[in-house]
Chain A
Amino acid sequence: MAYALQQLINGVTLGMIYGLIAVGYTMVYGIIGMINFAHGDVFMVGAFLTLIGLTLLGGFGITSVPIALALAFIAAAAIAAVYGWTIERVAYRPLRGSFRLAPLISAIGMSIVLQNFVQVSQGARDLNLQPLIPGSIRLMNQGGFAVELSWMQVLISVVTLAILAVFTWLVTRTPLGRAMRACEQDLKMASLLGIDTDKTISLTFVIGAALATVAGLLFLLYYGSINFFIGFSAGIKAFTAAVLGGIGSLPGAVLGGLAIGLIESFWSGYASVPYKNVAAFSVLAIVLIFLPSGLLGRADVEKV
């Protein structure tokens, strides 16, 4: 019981991070029908930017953790937004209207570029960050097993939920969000209503990159160790989460992220750690057999 509760806490924390990344996959897929394979690496770069930012701030003598984190986060998100925009501009937009696989191949190329760039510039070994937010709450103690909720885990959940709330408001209530949904549903009609569709698509990439950067920051703080390859596995997991939840669905991405996080953590806790990815992908395969459009995906039936 206590053990299960601990796995639940760990799984939810992990799931939040996956969910944040998955939102970026699902948004881009929704609007231009493309899997942005470089998105996981945007997350990875976000983690590195945060680490560099924190180190620099430390060098300038800014040691207050909340201030340093806030500054590093703002800087990283801003830089991420710029290269999210650039990636779309350079690697995807020229291929729009080309055959379907072209942007996908370009995205894989972009992913390799980002990985290699970080590998060359930052080295291939793990970089570490000492824990910035230590401490935890002891929730219960049962038979010598203590259930701990770390402040770090609290922070991850609070930040993720706050960001998702703002993001949901943006998508459902603002003119920009409406424009994004219009582009997703009928790009040509959106342009007939005076929407600058290229700009809207760029903004989608920018927002996705900013969310992935937040995820990168949280990942760095949680694990305290990153390398140039973390974008690959986290990216695949988040992509799986997006598909599991129903690609194109925003709540689905978050739900899928939580599901993948929980599966991973319970499997690691009760079965075997090396097989945790097998478990996550097996669940995906099983769900897709019975629900081909994912948990919250729509089976496309529309009145003509």
Chain B
Amino acid sequence: MPALLRLEGVTAFYGAIQALKGVDLEVNQGEIVTLIGANGAGKSTLMMTICGTPRARHGSIRYDGQDITQLATHEIMRRGLAQSPEGRRIFPRMTVHENLLMGARGHKPAEAEAAMAEVFALFPRLKERLAQRGGTLSGGEQQMLAIGRALMSRPRLLLLDEPSLGLAPLVVRQIFGAIRELNRATGLTVLLVEQNAFQALRLAHRGYVLVNGAITMAGTGADLLARPEIRAAYLEGGH
């Protein structure tokens, strides 16, 4: 089976700084794949490069068998990708409802309604806050909104950059449970960046380790969890 997403030798730069140094990575249809790495390793850059901003300078990015390396960001996203980006990037002066509608771009109203009902089932909290402006939500609520907004387009590939950031442990478990459930029930493919490597590796089918802009290790979640060097570098601190 061809991979849903395949990166080969991808590099990315911020001005003269090279943030990605030839990344090879694959995500198969129906998989949950996690990307772990230290602060500044280039995880968020990789997620954004997949979406064309910044654009990959070398290498190729293929999605669903087609080369998307040179496409404009909005064209890439319209092919069925969605991202809940680092820092959440909620539209602060739009209501929760409007933020969610932004995620459903191009859908018919009835479809958007159905997608919204699914999001509310996942995060009932959002339903209570429907008319509140995004900028006044609590950090955790904003995170829920960012994920909900990404789900509104009913994506085939969901890119989640640190969805657990700033959330209470109970909510983190709930979100991870939701990801697993969406994956199981709908076959949603997920590429997940997490600080919480332990939980991410337990959730994921496979994982990659990114160090200084390059992949240094890859394997199944269980495989990576068992490696001493992973335990030492990413799992110390009481999990």
Q: How far, in angstroms, from A179 to B82 measured CA to CA in the complex?
A: 17
Q: Is A191 an interface residue (CB 8 A)?
A: yes
Q: Is the CB of A175 within 8 A of B105?
A: yes
How close is B44's CB to chain A, nearest CB, in angstroms?
12
Please tell me the size bucket of the interface on B: 20 to 34
Q: Is the CB of B98 within 8 A of A192?
A: no
Contacts of B224 in A (CB 8 A): none
Q: Is the CB of A192 within 8 A of B83?
A: yes
Please tell me the size bucket of the interface on A: 20 to 34
Contacts of B105 in A (CB 8 A): 175, 179, 193-195
Chain B: CB-nearest residue to A298: B93
Q: Is B203 an interface residue (CB 8 A)?
A: no
Q: Is chain A's binding surface mostly helix, strand, loop or mixed?
A: helix
Q: Is A96 an interface residue (CB 8 A)?
A: no
List CB contacts (< 8 Å) of B66-104 with chain A: 72-74, 77-78, 82-83, 85, 87, 89, 91-94, 98, 101-103
Known: A186-B89, A192-B51, A193-B105. A303 touches B74 (CB 8 A): no
List CB contacts (< 8 Å) of B92-121 with chain A: 92-94, 98, 101-103, 105-106
Known: A191-B73, A194-B106. A185 touches B91 (CB 8 A): yes
Q: Is the CB of B89 within 8 A of A178?
A: no
Q: Is the CB of B94 within 8 A of A182?
A: yes
Q: How far, in angstroms, from A233 to B105 measured CA to CA in the complex?
A: 41
Q: Is the CB of A303 within 8 A of B85?
A: no
Q: Is the CB of A188 within 8 A of B53?
A: yes
Chain B: CB-nearest residue to A172: B98
Q: Is the CB of A178 within 8 A of B92?
A: no
User: For B78, B103, B105, B142, which residue has the most chain A Cβ atoms within 10 angstroms?
Assistant: B105
Q: Is the CB of B78 within 8 A of A178?
A: no
Write out, one digit per residue, whether chain A residues 158-190 have a CB within 8 A of any chain B CB (1) or not (0).
000000000000000001001101100110111
How close is B89's CB to chain A, nearest CB, in angstroms?
4
Contacts of A182 in B (CB 8 A): 91, 94, 102
Q: Is A126 an interface residue (CB 8 A)?
A: no
Neighbour of A302 across the interface among B82, B92, B102, CB < 8 A: B92
Contacts of A194 in B (CB 8 A): 74, 77-78, 105-106, 153
Contacts of B73 in A (CB 8 A): 188, 191-192
Q: Is the CB of A181 within 8 A of B74?
A: no
Write out, one digit per residue, whether chain A residues 255-285 have a CB within 8 A of any chain B CB (1) or not (0).
0000000000000000000000000000000
- 22 pairs, A vs B, C-beta closer than 8 Å: A175-B101, A178-B94, A178-B101, A181-B93, A181-B94, A182-B91, A182-B94, A182-B102, A185-B94, A189-B91, A191-B53, A192-B51, A192-B77, A192-B83, A193-B82, A193-B102, A194-B77, A194-B105, A195-B105, A197-B74, A303-B135, A303-B139
Q: Is the CB of B102 within 8 A of A178?
A: yes
Q: How far, in angstroms, from A303 to B137 measured CA to CA in the complex?
A: 8
Instruction: Identify the A interface with B (CB < 8 A).
Output: 175, 178-179, 181-182, 185-186, 188-197, 298, 302-304
Q: Is the CB of A193 within 8 A of B77?
A: yes
Q: Is B136 an interface residue (CB 8 A)?
A: yes
Q: Is B55 an interface residue (CB 8 A)?
A: no
Q: How far, in angstroms, from A72 to B201 measured CA to CA in the complex?
A: 67
How close is B72's CB to chain A, nearest CB, in angstroms?
8
Contacts of B98 in A (CB 8 A): 178
Q: How far, in angstroms, from A303 to B145 measured CA to CA in the complex?
A: 14
Chain B: CB-nearest residue to A304: B87
Q: Is B149 an interface residue (CB 8 A)?
A: yes
Contacts of B103 in A (CB 8 A): 193
Contacts of B93 in A (CB 8 A): 181, 185, 298
How close is A249's CB to chain B, nearest CB, in angstroms?
11
Chain B: CB-nearest residue to A189: B89
Q: Is the CB of A189 within 8 A of B94?
A: no
Q: Is the CB of A193 within 8 A of B136?
A: no
User: For B91, B136, B153, which residue has the most chain A Cβ atoms within 10 angstroms?
Assistant: B91
User: For B85, B92, B142, which residue has the most chain A Cβ atoms within 10 angstroms?
Assistant: B92
How close is B42's CB to chain A, nearest CB, in angstroms?
18
Q: How far, in angstroms, from A197 to B75 measured CA to CA in the complex?
A: 11
Q: How far, in angstroms, from A179 to B74 measured CA to CA in the complex?
A: 12
Q: How far, in angstroms, from A191 to B85 measured CA to CA in the complex?
A: 12
Q: Is the CB of A189 within 8 A of B77?
A: no
Neighbour of B91 across the interface among A181, A196, A197, A298, CB < 8 A: A181
Q: How far, in angstroms, from A82 to B1 measured CA to CA in the complex?
A: 49
Contacts of A304 in B (CB 8 A): 87
Neighbour of B74 across the interface among A185, A186, A195, CB < 8 A: A195
Q: How far, in angstroms, from A303 to B102 measured CA to CA in the complex?
A: 20
How close is A173's CB to chain B, nearest CB, in angstroms?
10
Q: What are the 6 A-B residue pairs with the smallest beta carbon separation, nearest first?
A: A191-B73, A189-B89, A194-B77, A185-B91, A194-B78, A194-B105
